[in-house]
Structure 1
Amino acid sequence: MRYFAMVAAGATLWGCWALFLRPAGLSGPQNALLVLTAMSLPAPFLLRREALRDRRATAALVVIGLADAANTALFFAAIRNGPVSVAVLTHYLAPLLLALSAPWVLRERVSARALVGVPITLFGLALLIIQPGTAFSGLTATLGAASALFYAVIVLGSKEAARAYSPLAVTSLHAPLSMAALLLYFGAEALPSALDEATLRVLVGGVACGLIGNILFNAGLRHVPTAAAGALTYLEPLTASVVGMVFFAEALTPAGIVGGLLVLVTGAWVAAERRAPARLLPEPSATP
């Protein structure tokens, strides 16, 4: 259960973004670029020729970088276009995509509990996020669902990149590629106006939630079935809702409390599924 706890801890840290991003008041692209900058800080110390020789793992790392830029761009566009609840819910179609695709892409055993649990968890998340009178936007839903597709690619790619790269290397080495793609997409809109308190706050959040959160998630992901890891990512919006209630006085309805409990109970049920011993990925000896 240690590796499940690491995946859960990473997703929980992702749910704490609001503590750093909301007080800073920067735009979505600016936040994304600063977070990726913080995540890329260890990158110069992680390049190893031995790891680069594994072409499949290196190609996966490149795919992660491009997919992360697309995921960020589409998700922020969804939030900017319409209701946040619609954007978040459609973005969290990703765990369902992972549960369906992992047996085909990674040849993992089908997780019956994940296939049952992911739609239940999505329903619980809807109870948690949707407020009475919330509008619906087809464009927002389309953008959010597209971001979910790229997020699923990131998780699948991380599994492949772990063949030769450590969790820290997977986290950091893809970030410069994502930064370059973001700058190509958003241009000057992604650049912060000054190195001030707001910028430093986001950079600190990038280290705490981005760098450390992704290292924990990727370290656990090496030993956890992809479908189960996808189910545990629902701890991110659950944590975000709790952070909003405790620190930003956001209301949590009785239905939201039921939804939050449903997310937790279903996630624990999926993680506790008995499985045959899995073939673990070899430890990447050439990368720290």
Structure 2
Amino acid sequence: MKNMMPYLMIAAGASLWGIIALFVKGLGEYGFTPMEIVAIRVIVAALVLLIIGAVRLRKKMKLKKWTDIRFFIGTGIFSVVFFNYCYFTTIGQMNISIAVILLYTSPAFVTILSYLFLKEKLTLNKIIAVFGTIIGCVLIAGLTMGDGTITFIGIITGLGAGLGYALYTIFSKFALMKYEPYTITLYTFVVAAIALIPVTQLWNKYENLLDVNVLLYSIGLGLIPTVLAYFIYTWGLEKIEGSKAAIIATVEPVVATMLGVLLYGERLTFIQIIGALFILGSVIIVNMTFRKRSLSQHDGLKIE
């Protein structure tokens, strides 16, 4: 059971990401744009993490070297901000089902980048699991080519979203060699908040932000599918390979689909059920063999 815990934490973190629609829909009803909702998410998360640090974890708030901020520019700007910008741009260019499919090319990006930069082995299990997750996401999204146009910009930004989504795992792996999950989560959202505040100019909607319901949605968004989700995902990531974590994290669209069925009365088709089974099967395949040694102990992988 102890060996399974990191895998369960990765799945739990991804599952919490899957319920984000609850809060996004709520804030959308109050007139906030997608990027403003992202800004609310990272600002609330940063404030919560700063408060937790000030009260309980002051030692973990310190950076060993200021040059280490490069890790968090990676997780905060190149991942969180870049991923959201690309994803929302793709949705504006093409239908959401195609955007979701392009987003979930992320396990393929993680597997390739982990092989190139983290010296992870490229096994047959991983290759099969990557293809299985992509097929599963295609089926869950219910791709119908006739429902919308496909644009060059949409494809590029969609793949950019997949890359940005993948980069959190890659940059976090390097950061985990020097810092604990709390520190990584904290600086990821502090950096992302600093980047997004001037871009979104949320202060222009201060009256909306003071609404009680908006505050509740904002706090929920910042706490549950953000602080908690990223923290436990990063904790699990510390113990297992990044490529495996990325594949396990594709349970997110399964959870999101089930949420739509249970709470919003959406219909779950036979094809979507098959897609969910492809994803769950891929998660099982990638976990068929367990490593006893964590990635941080791999020979030749060192951060100064």
TM (norm. structure 2) is: 0.84
**Sequence identity (%):** 22
Match of 2:105 among 93, 108, 130: 93
Asked if 1:209 corresponds to 2:225, the answer is yes
Question: Number of matched residues?
Answer: 282
Partners of 1:147 and 1:114 in 2: CA distance = 21
- Runs of 5+ unmatched residues, structure 1: 282-288
Change (3 A) 1:169 1:53: closer
- Aligned partner letter, 2:97: S
Is the 1:113–1:270 contact (alpha carbons within 8 Å) kept by the matching residues of 2?
A: yes
Q: What SS does the aligned partner of 1:174 have? A: helix
Which residue identity is paired with 1:59? Answer: R
| Gap regions ≥5 residues in structure 2 | 298-304
Q: 1:240 aligns with which of 242, 256, 259?
A: 256
CA contact (8 A) 2:103 2:158 kept: yes
SS in 2 for 1:267: helix
1:273 aligns with 2:280: no
Cα deviation, residue 150, structure 1:
1.7
Range with greater deviation from structure 2 (210-219 or 131-140): 131-140
Following TM superposition, the consecutive aligned residue runs of length 4 or more in structure 1 with deviations greater than 6 angstroms are: none
1:1-20 matches, cutoff 5 A: 1-20=4-23
How far apart, CA to CA, are the structure 2 residues paired with 1:14 and 1:257? 20
Query: What is residue 147 of structure 2 aligned with on the other side?
Result: 134
Q: Deviations over 1:16-61 (max 9, x none)?
A: 0112221332321121011102221223625659952256754212
Q: Does 1:23 align with 2:26?
A: yes
What's 2:125 paired with? 113
1:79-100 alpha-carbon deviations (Å, 9 max, x no partner)? 2332111111111111101111
The secondary structure found in structure 2 opposite 1:224 is coil
Task: Determine if contact 1:64/1:157 at 8 Å carries over to the other structure.
Answer: yes
Give the CA deviation at 1:256.
Answer: 0.8
Distance in structure 1 (CA, Å) of the matches to 2:149 and 2:89: 15
3-state SS of paired residue (2:209): coil
Instruction: Give 1:208 deviation, angstroms.
Output: 0.7
Measure, in 2, the Cα distance between the counterparts of 1:177 and 1:233. Answer: 23
Determine if contact 1:81/1:140 at 8 Å carries over to the other structure: yes
Which of 195, 200, 222 is the equivalent residue of 2:216?
A: 200
C-alpha distance in 2 between matches for 1:57 and 1:116? 35
Which whole-Å deviations, capped at 9, do the CAs of 1:104-124 have from their partners, x for residues lacking one? Answer: 111222233112211121111
The one-letter code matched in structure 2 to 1:32 is V
> Structure 1 80/109 Cα, relative in aligned 2: closer, same or farther at 3 Å?
same
Aligned to 1:284: none
Residue 82 (structure 1) aligned to one of 69, 94, 98? 94
Superposed CA RMSD? 2.4
Residues 1:257 and 2:280 are matched in the alignment? no
Contact 2:15 2:255 in 1 (8 A): yes
Task: Give the conservation status (yes or no) of the 8 Å contact 2:60–2:183.
Answer: no
Q: Deviations over 1:164-223 (max 9, x none)?
A: 222122112121211222234444599564322134213212201100000110000001
Aligned residue identity for 2:125: R
Equivalent pair of 2:60/2:180 in contact (CA under 8 Å): no
Separation in 2, partners of 1:187, 1:50: 27
Q: Of 153, 159, 166, which residue of structure 2 is paired with 1:152?
A: 166
1:42 aligns with 49
What SS class does the counterpart of residue 137 from structure 1 fall into? coil
The one-letter code sitting in structure 2 at the alignment partner of 1:30 is E
Report the Cα distance in structure 1 between the residues aligned to 2:138 and 2:233, rounded to whole angstroms. 24
Using a 3 Å threshold, how does the CA distance of structure 1 residues 279 and 159 change in structure 2: closer, same or farther?
Answer: closer
